[in-house]
Amino acid sequence: MKAEELSLILKKMYEDAPKGDSSTMIRLFGIKYAEELRGCGVPMTEIANKSVGSSYHAEISKGVRLAKYVQLKAS
């Protein structure tokens, strides 16, 4: 998956987040797309900057690190 696609997905998850859960959705994005984020060859700062603001790159990184410990529930 390309960085542009990942940025669009992140932006949508952020904008569609229930009130008060925007940071949670950013971490969830990191968990859900951890492999794609690792493989795209683009820094997470750039993906965050294109979608929700560069200050959120740390939240994406937290999600990526959590990915090996958690499993997503079916929605």
Share of the chain above pLDDT 90, in %: 80
Predicted confidence (pLDDT) per residue in 50-68, tens digit: 999 888 999 999 999 999 9
Predicted confidence (pLDDT) per residue in 9-39, tens digit: 999 999 999 999 999 999 999 999 999 999 9
Spans of all domains in the chain: 3-66
Query: What is the structure's pLDDT at 74?
Result: 80
Query: What is the structure's pLDDT at 75?
Result: 66
- Cα separation, 49 vs 66, in Å, equals 21
Range 3-13 average pLDDT: 94
* Mean pLDDT value across the chain: 93
